[in-house]
Amino acid sequence: MDHIVSHVFRRGVASFGVAGEEPVKFDLPQWGAALLGLTIIVSAAMSLMIEYTYGQVVATLTMVESPSTVVLESIPSNDPDAPLDEKKEVEPELLVIKQQPITAKFRTTIQHLRARAGRLSRFRGICLFYLCALGTGQITELFIALHIPRGVSAILAALVVARFSLGWTHIVMTEPSDKYWFRRLPSFKLWTKVAIPTAVLALTKQVTIGLPVFFFNALHLDELNSDKISEMNRCQISLLVVRVLSLVGLGLFAAVAIVVPARVTLTRVQASLLSESEETIVPFDRSFGGKFVPADLGGSGVISMLEAWKTFDWNSRIRILKVHAKVIAMQAAVAISTGALLFAELQLMTGSQLLAIIASAHGQGKASGPTDA
């Protein structure tokens, strides 16, 4: 690992330099390469853990949880007009309290999971999840090799692994089981009931990616290079920054407006297919407010996409948006901390050479600018 990091870093440093000048010489010690590699590995592991534990497991539980209602008996009423029971005594007042959702906070969610499913519960279903992700990627590439457009290929791949995605949702939302994950996969016949919401979610992801790319090309930002940017004045650079930030904002808006609702809808449709024999790890209303009718009672046996979203109340919608916002903030904190730590490590290993490398890169940028004819 340290040899790879050292080789990549040397190649990167060798690329710096101004035409006609001797490139900056740099010797990266083995311990330095090992330290950089370890930092990168730890950072990647933290990022993956945050994404899976909070962006997947906690988010899924937030989508399916239905806060339970508890009725508490209070102190007997002193109201002279209070109704009397059979013994001619004043009936006590009943106070109905809606409990705070378990998924209202990350801390309470993780504590609940650890109490019910053990210390490794934050990683429940992780093998099936990454198997599904790997399978989706490989199947997408297979369809692309068959000359099917990438967007269509991604949707088809999602449909192929839909049964595995359904099984993962059921594993995450239920109590621990002694069965292996492949023995907990749902029946093949349930695939048809999740095919449409699965395709809709895959489509929204492609739209979210495609919109910023379309406007990026429409605004001719793909034609920019260092020479053109160096010729811009302050006003033009400011306009360029605004355009780039607008594209980022467009992507975020599309994710919130269409991807999150599509994912919530799919997850709740999947949850409606959970077997009656399975106990959920968080409170879950199997009737979806009376909108779900089991197949043995003449219903379809699955909640419709519209009802799956409508029964997800506004408090729950705000909670899921907070979950995604927290995950983005945590990922950003890891990225910034990793960048600062890598810079500090490089400075420790190189001393004044790091400043020379930066100065060389700056000189290369000037040298690549426009020259007089």
CA dihedral 305, 306, 311, 316 (to 10 degrees): 80
Q: Supply 8's token pair.
A: 């990549």
Beta bridge partners, 322, equal: none
Average pLDDT of the residues of the chain: 83
At residue 213, φ and ψ (nearest 5 deg) are: -65, -40
pLDDT single digits (tens) 86-145: 555 555 556 666 678 999 999 999 999 999 999 999 999 999 999 999 999 999 999 999
Q: b or e along 97-127 (b: 16 or more beta carbons within 10 Å of the residue's beta carbon)?
A: eeeebbbbebeebbebbeeeeeeebbebbbe
Decide: helix, strand or coil at residue 7: helix
Beta bridge partners, 280, equal: 174
Q: What is the 3-state secondary structure (H, E, C) of 220-250?
A: CHHHCCHHHHHCCCHHHHHHHHHHHHHHHHH
At residue 81, φ and ψ (nearest 5 deg) are: -95, 5
Report the chain's C-alpha Rg in angstroms.
28
| pLDDT score for 136 | 96
| pLDDT score for 373 | 39
| pLDDT score for 181 | 86
At residue 97, φ and ψ (nearest 5 deg) are: -120, 130
Q: Which of 271, 25, 40 is nearest to 165 (CA)?
A: 271
**Single-letter residue type at 154:** A
pLDDT single digits (tens) 264-299: 999 999 999 999 889 999 999 999 988 888 877 777
Q: Supply 249's token pair.
A: 């904002």
Q: b or e along 49-69 (b: 16 or more beta carbons within 10 Å of the residue's beta carbon)?
A: ebebbbbbbbbbbbbbbbbee
| pLDDT score for 223 | 74
CA distance 77 to 103: 35
Contact 250, 211 (CB under 8 A): yes
| pLDDT score for 215 | 83
pTM above 0.95, yes or no: no
| Cα→Cα distances 134→116, 130, 137, 247, 333, Å | 29, 6, 5, 29, 27
With a cut of 50, list the residues of the chain below it in pLDDT.
Answer: 9, 15-20, 365, 368-373
Decide: helix, strand or coil at residue 98: strand
DSSP character string of 23-58: PPP----HHHHHHHHHHHHHHHHHHHHHIIIIIIII
DSSP character string of 296-313: GGTS-SS--HHHHHHTS-
**Single-letter residue type at 365:** G
Measured N-to-C along each axis, helices 191-218 and 260-272 cross at an angle, to the nearest 10 degrees, of 170
**Other beta carbons less than 10 A from residue 141's beta carbon:** 13
